Every structure is written in C-alpha cells, then in structure tokens.
Amino acid sequence: MAPQSSALVWRAHYALNTTRSHFINLCDRWRDPNAAQFFRVLGAGGYDPDAHIDVLPQQRLVYVCVPKCASTTIKAALAAVAGRSVPPHRLHARRHTGLAAPRHVGMSTFYRLVTSPGTLRFSFVRNPYARLFSAWADKYRDKPLVLGDSFIDQYLKYRRDDGRLKPSSAPRRGGWRGGCGHKCRNGRYW
C-alpha cells in the first residue's frame, strides 16, 4: 500500500473511532451516571483530561502525561506496547501511536479502568526548576524573537499585552527571564 493511501486509511480509521466514541459517550451519560459524574469532576476547573491522559484499555494502562517529564520517551514505549513503531515527531499525535484519550475509550470504560485495582495508573515527574528550564530551552533559547513560530508569537503577544514590549525595545532572542515568566503564566504546560 502506498504511503499516501496508508495515511488516508489511518485518518479514516481515526475519524470513525472518534464518531463511535461520541455515540458511546452519549449513551454512557444515561446508562452510567457515576461514570458521567466522574468525567465531569475530572474536567472541572479547566483541566482537559483528553489532552494529558493516555489510555491502553487492553493492557489496562493509564498514563497521566506531565509535559517536559520524559513524555516523549514514555509515549514511544507505550506505542511499542500497542504494537506501533512511531517516528519521534509523531509521538504526540494519538492517531499514530495507538494510544487513546479518555473520551475515545468511553466514559464507562475509562471509569472502570481508573477505579480498578488491576489497572496500572502512572505518571512521571521531575524537579520543577529543571522542568521549567527544559521548557524554556526547548521553546525559546537561541531563537530569534520574530513572528512565525507559534510559541514566539504567543510570547510576544504576552509581552505586548503586559505593556513591557515596545517596538524600540523588542528583545532579539528569547531570554530566560522573559521566557520563564511567560511559561509560568501560560497554562498550556502548567
């Protein structure tokens, strides 16, 4: 099968699974009120469980991803457990890895998995200062502060909105002090 048609098959498979999961979750809201309530509480306060929780139901694994804490390495290992060999630049796209978001496995299935003593639920953490430095180094260090990179664009908008960026005083590179403050205020990773 040609690479382009293979990608088309994977996209169609992913779209069908997403549609199926919407239907399953709609049914689960009525059939399993405990699971629906659990899912509502999990998403309360602005936390999106689908963004940072990966599920392998057949292997009874639930991974809570903490960005900048070995998540790429862990996702590679989990993809291998799921029988997939994925290039590093695609490890954070579930359609390539075989990992599922909580909503993709269904509310009831996810609820049973996380409450079961037989499920391995895990995460990986690291020193918060090392994590913050890693985020800054990955997104800002030695990068020119010009529009075109989504992280740089967001940082420059933050500086403009904060009143600290004037056209004549625009920094040329992503410095630790400014980038660190932006990362701490930006809820995407924290």
Both 52 and 144 in one domain: the answer is no
Distance from C-alpha of 138 to C-alpha of 28, rounded to nearest angstrom: 40
Which pTM does this prediction carry? 0.71
Among 108, 126, 144, the domain boundary falls at 126
Both 43 and 91 in one domain: the answer is yes
Predicted confidence at residue 48, as pLDDT, reads: 85
Predicted confidence at residue 45, as pLDDT, reads: 75
pLDDT values of the chain reduced to their tens digit, one per residue, 190 residues = 455 677 788 778 778 888 888 888 888 888 899 999 998 898 887 778 888 999 999 999 999 999 889 999 999 999 999 999 888 888 888 878 889 999 889 999 999 999 999 999 999 999 999 988 888 888 888 888 888 888 888 888 887 777 766 555 555 555 555 555 555 555 554 4
Predicted confidence at residue 189, as pLDDT, reads: 46
How many domains is the chain built from?
2
Both 65 and 19 in one domain: the answer is yes
Distance from C-alpha of 126 to C-alpha of 162, rounded to nearest angstrom: 30
The whole domain housing 154 covers: 129-185
Is position 190 within any domain?
A: no
**Ramachandran quadrant class, 119 (left: phi over 0; alpha: psi -120 to 50; beta: rest):** beta
Predicted confidence at residue 4, as pLDDT, reads: 66
Distance from C-alpha of 186 to C-alpha of 46, rounded to nearest angstrom: 13
Phi, psi of 126 (to 5 degrees): -150, 170
Is position 158 within any domain?
A: yes
